[in-house]
Structure 1
Amino acid sequence: MAMKKTTFAVNFFLKKSKLLTNGEAPICMRITVNGKRAEVQIKRSIEIEKWNSSKGCAIGKDKKHQEINLYLDTVRNKVFQIHRQMEADGKPITADTIKNIYYGGHETPKMLIETFNEHNLEYRELMNKEYAEGTVLRYERTVRYLKEYLREQYHTEDIPLKSIDYEFISKFEHFIKTNKGCAQNATIKYLKNLKKITRTALIKKWISEDPFAEIRFKQTKANRDFLNETELRLILCKDIEVERLQTVRDIFIFCCLTGLSFTDVKNLKEEHLVQDNDGNWWIRKTREKTDNMCDIPLLDIPKLILDKYKSNPICTERGVLLPVPTNQRMNGYLKEIADICNIKKNLSTHIARHTFASIAISNQVSIESVARMLGHTDIRTTKIYAKIMNSTIGHEMQVMKNKFALPIQQ
C-alpha cells in the first residue's frame, strides 16, 4: 500500500485573550498535521497593533520587531527540521509528537501499540495462572485490530498515547463493527481493553487527560432466539418461487446446518473445503471476527446448496461459494420468509448460528464439539445454549407434568 503523504503546516498567531501586564499579547505557534493541531507558546510577545495576522509576523523595521521575525524564522526552521528528520526515520508524525520533541529535545513519547504489546506479554506469561486464555487472546486480538485500523485510517504502524482522543476511539469503534463484523457487546469488550491501557497511561502520567471521559458503554440484551427442528424443516421445505427469497432461504439454511456467522458465510471460499481420509467433506475456516479455527462436518443439505450455486455468476465474480447479499438485505428478506412460513420469530442471520448450536446440543452433540465447530475459545460461551435447551425442555414437559400430577390430598 502506498503511504499517504502527510499534510503539515506551521503558523504563528497571537493569544489576545491572555494579555501580559505590559499590554502585549503572547505569540503562539500552531503545528498542524493531517488536520490535527498542537499549540506551542514560543516565549515572545508583541503589541497587537504591530502584528500582521494574515502573514503571521511582526510589522515594522525597527530592531525589536526585526528580531522577533528573525526568531520566528528560527523556530519555524527548527520545527521543519524535526518534521524532515521524522520522515527520514519513518516515524509516525503527529502534531503532538512534533510539539513534544520541540519542547524536550529528542524525548520520545510513549506509543500505543508498543505499550499494548508490553501489557499483552505480561498477560501471556500469566495465562492459565491469573488470566484465562480467552482473556489473553482477546487482548492480543485488540492489538491486531488497532494495527489494521492505524494502517487504514492513519497510514502508520503506531501512534503516541497522547494522540488518542474521542474521535480516535469513535472511529475505532466504527472500524470494529464494519470491518470485523462485531456486534455491540463484542465491540465494547475491545474498547474496554483499549481503555485499560489508557487508564494505565493516565496513572503513570504518560497522558494528562482521559480520552474515555465522555464515553459510556451501552450493552445490548443478547438475542438468544433460535428455531426448533419443526420450524427449520418448515422453511427448508417451503416452495418459494421468488428467486431472491429462495437464495436467502438457502443461505440461511446453510448457516443453520453449519453454524457459520453472516461474515463467515459471505467470505466462504473453495479453499475452506477440505476432504478427510474417509472421503468426508469439512469446512475448515478461521472466523473473521476472532481468527479462531472452526472445523465443521459438511452435512448433505449444505453440500447440495453449495452445488446449486457452483456456477452462479456472483460467486464466480467474487471468488466465493455463495451469493450472499448485504446483512441488511438478508435480514429484510428473512422477515418476508418468516411471514410466508407463518413463523412468528424475528428471523435474522444470527438466529441461524443460534439454531445450529441449539439443535446440535438437543441431538446429543457434546458441548466440546459444538464449541469447536462454532469457533468458541471459552466453552462457557457455548454452555449458554445448553441452558436455553434445558429451559425449553422444562417448558415442553409442563404438559406431561400436568397430566401425571398427583391428586392434591385434602
Structure 2
Amino acid sequence: MTQNHTFSLLSYIRRDKANKDSLAPVYLRITLDGKRAEISTKTFVDPLKWNAAKGRLKSAFQDSKRLNQTIETFEHRAREVYNRLIEKGKILSADDIKDELLGSVHKQRTLVLSFSEYLAEMEARVTIDFSIGTIKNWRVTLGHLKEFLVKKYSRPDIAFKELDENFLREFDSYARRNWGCGTNAVIKHIQRIRKIVTKAISKNWLDKDPFIAFATTAEKTHRTFLTPIELDAIEKKIFELDRLEKVKDIFIFSCYTGLAYVDVEKLTTDNLVVGIDSKKWIYTFREKTNEKSNIPLLPKALQIIEKYKNDSQSSNRGKLLPVISNIKTNAYLKEIADVCGIKKNLTFHMARHTFATTITLTNGVPIETVSNMLGHSKITTTQIYAKVLENKVSVDMDILERKLSRL
C-alpha cells in the first residue's frame, strides 16, 4: 500500500554561523510529514544578497548564478533521494533523507581532496617508505593540478566521475604551455594523477578508468657529461669569489664520487669510514632509491674533504661539506661554465654523469662496479651511460678490427 507524505525543501541562511568574512552558510531544511531535518550545503553567501522568499541569491550580483546552481543541485539531490526511498518503500522520516543525502554527498569523491589525503599519508611515512625528493615532486604535481583546475575549470576540485580522457589532454597541453614542461616531466605529473585515479577505482569511487584511452610515450633522455679536457679546465680554475670556489669544489667532489646533489648535501662525518682496504670510503644510501652506495674515495675527492674539514659553514650544520641550496648551486655553475669556456648547460647532476663516464667507464672500471657505486637498483640504468661513450665504442671496434685481421 502506497503511503502519502507531505514533503518540502527550503534553502535558508544561518546568520549565526557566519564565518570570519561575514559570509553565512546556506542550509537545506527537509520537512517530511511535519518533521524537520537540516543539512549544510557547504555553500557560503553574503547575507545582504540573499532573497529569503526565494531561497536564492539575488540575481543582480556577480557569482549569483553559479552559487544558485549549487544550491539547486543540492535540492535536486534531496528530491532524488526522497523519490528513490519512496520507490523502495524505505522512507521513514526527514532524518532518513538527510542520512541518505549525506551518504550520496560523501560518495562524490574528488581528485584534489583524494590527492591531498594520499600525499598526507606519504608525508607521514617520509624517510621510511618515501624520500624527501619524492614528497617534493608530489607536492609540485598537486600545486600544478590545483592551478590547472582553477584556470581551466574555474573550480578548486573536480569529482572523479567528471574525469575523462580530454581532462588529461588539456592538462598535458597546459603543462607544456604554462609551466614549460617537457614530455617526460608531463608524464611524471600524469602518472601521479593516474595513481590517485587507480586508488579511486580500487575503493569503488569509480567504476572504470576514465583515462584508459590516453597514452603518451616518454622521450629518450641524453646523459650529458664533461670530457676530460672540460673537467680539467674547471679543476684548474681558482676563483677569487668564495661562493664560486666552494660550488666548484663540491661539483668536482661529485665528479669523483658520483653522488647526486641531495646525497652530497646530507653527508656527515659519520658517512666517512675506513673500508676493508684500510682506505677511506663514503658509506651512504641514495635519497632517491634508498639503495646502498659505497664509494672508495679517490685522491681528488679526499683533497676536497680535507680542504673543508674546518669550514664553519659545514661544521656548524654538522655536514661534511659546505653545500648551499640546489637552486643557487646550479646558478653559480652557470657562471663557472662561462668563465671556464664550457658550452654545455652545466648542472650539478652532470657531475654524476661525468663520474659514470669520464672517470670510471672510460678508464675501464667494470660496469657492475660503477652500478654499485652509483647506487643503481638495475644495471640497465648504468648501461645507458655506456651507450653514450663514443670513445669506448671506438676502442672496442679497434680491438675487434685487430682480431679480424688475424683471421
- Taking structure 1 as the reference length, what is the TM-score of the superposition? 0.54
Secondary structure of the equivalent of 2:53? helix
Q: 1:96 to 1:215 in 2, by over 3 A?
A: farther
Match of 1:100 among 106, 111, 117: 106
Specify the SS of the correspondent of 2:341. coil
- Give the Cα–Cα distance (whole angstroms) in 2 for the partners of residues 374 and 187 of structure 1: 26
- Note the alpha carbon deviations across 1:295-353, whole angstroms, 9 max, x for none: 11111211121121122222123221111222222222222222222222221111100
Residue of structure 2 equivalent to 1:365: 365
Checking the alignment, whether the CA contact within 8 Å between 1:184 and 1:219 is kept in structure 2 is yes
CA positional deviation for 1:260: 0.6
Q: Is the 8 A contact 1:13 1:53 kept in 2?
A: no
Name 1:314's counterpart in structure 2: 313
Could you give the per-residue CA deviations for residues 227-270 of structure 1, whole angstroms, max 9, x where no partner exists?
12222122112232222111111011000000011111111112
- In the aligned structure 1, how far is the partner of 2:102 from the partner of 2:272? 49
Gaps of 5+ in 2: 1-19, 30-37, 45-50, 59-93, 109-113, 123-128, 143-158, 176-181, 399-407
Q: d(CA) in 1 for partners of 2:254 and 2:380?
A: 22
Contact 1:274–1:282 (Cα < 8 Å) also in 2: yes
The change in CA–CA distance for 1:320 and 1:214 in structure 2 (over 3 A counts) is farther
Paired with 2:215 and 2:200, the residues of 1 have a C-alpha distance of 19
Counterpart in 1 of 2:41?
A: 30
State how far apart, in whole Å, the 1-side matches of 2:397 and 2:391 are.
10
Residues 96, 163 of structure 1: 8 Å contact kept: no
Shift in CA distance, 218/398, structure 1 to aligned 2, threshold 3 Å: closer
- The equivalent of 1:124 in structure 2 is none
Aligned-residue offset at 1:201: 4.2
RMSD: 5.4
Helix, strand or coil: the match of 1:305? helix
The answer for the alignment partner of 1:3 in structure 2 is: none
Residue ranges of structure 1 left out of the alignment (5+ in a row): 1-6, 15-26, 36-46, 55-73, 80-94, 103-108, 118-139, 154-160, 175-182, 400-410
Q: 1:404 — aligned with what?
A: none
Q: What SS does the aligned partner of 1:345 have?
A: coil
Q: Counterpart in 2 of 1:376?
A: 376
Using a 3 Å threshold, how does the CA distance of structure 1 residues 97 and 378 change in structure 2: closer, same or farther? farther
Segment drifting more, 186-195 vs 233-242: 186-195
After TM superposition, the structure 1 = structure 2 runs for residues 16-165 of structure 1, keeping only pairs within 5 Å, are: 29-31=40-42, 49=53, 51=55, 99-100=105-106
Shift of residue 386, structure 1, vs aligned partner: 0.8
SS in 1 for 2:301: helix
Q: Structure 2 CA distance, aligned partners of 1:207 and 1:284? A: 46
Percent identity of paired positions between Structure 1 and Structure 2: 37
- Alpha carbons of structure 1 residues 305 and 380: separation in structure 2 relative to 1, 3 Å: same
- 2:106 corresponds to which letter in structure 1? N
Kept in 1, the 8 Å contact 2:262–2:287? The answer is yes
How far did residue 213 of structure 1 move? 9.3
Deviation at 1:372, TM superposition (A): 1.0
Q: Taking structure 1 as reference, are residues 199 and 337 closer, same or farther at Cα in structure 2, changes over 3 Å only?
A: same
User: Measured at CA, do residues 98 and 260 of structure 1 come closer, stay the same or move farther in structure 2, by a change above 3 Å?
Assistant: farther
String of CA shifts for 1:279-308, please: whole Å, max 9, x gaps.
Answer: 211111111122111111111211121121
Distance 1:223 1:317, change over 3 A: farther
How far apart are the structure 1 equivalents of 2:289 and 2:329?
A: 22
Instruction: Please say if residues 262 and 327 of structure 1, whose CA atoms lie closer than 8 Å, have aligned partners that are also in contact.
Output: yes
Partners of 1:231 and 1:202 in 2: CA distance: 52
Superposition map of 1:9-408 within 5 A: 11-12=26-27, 29-31=40-42, 49=53, 51=55, 99-100=105-106, 185=184, 188-189=187-188, 192=191, 195-196=194-195, 198-199=197-198, 201-202=200-201, 205-207=204-206, 222-358=221-357, 359-389=359-389, 391-394=390-393
Deviation readout 1:347-373 (Å, 9 max, x if unpaired): 111110000000201111111111111
Number of aligned positions between the proteins: 286
> Do the aligned partners of 1:11 and 1:29 also contact (CA within 8 Å) in 2?
yes
